[in-house]
């Protein structure tokens, strides 16, 4: 089980609809909004930053 680096929700890699590859690693997301936030500033989230927008998963 992976976790969404934006909202910290657990995500099942086998059924995840939203993924992004960054520096050779695949990240899994619960929603399109989380994926988009990550892609806008991946280093922020990888360093432990929380969601920057007001979207809800």
pLDDT one digit per residue (tens) for the chain, 57 residues: 999 999 999 999 999 999 999 999 999 999 999 999 999 999 999 998 776 555 667
56: in domain: no
pLDDT at 34: 94
25: in domain: yes
Domain count, the chain: 1
pLDDT at 53: 57
18: in domain: yes
pLDDT at 52: 59
d(CA 52, CA 30): 16
pTM: 0.86
- Domain extent, residue 39, equals 2-46
23: in domain: yes
57: in domain: no
The Cα angle at residue 34 between residues 15 and 45, in degrees rounded to 5: 110
């Amino acid at each position: 089980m992976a976790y969404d680096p934006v909202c910290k929700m657990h995500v099942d890699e086998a059924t995840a609809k939203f993924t992004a590859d960054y520096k050779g690693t695949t990240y899994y997301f619960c929603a399109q909004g989380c994926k988009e936030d990550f892609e806008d500033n991946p280093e922020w989230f990888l360093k432990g930053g929380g969601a920057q927008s007001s979207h809800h998963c």
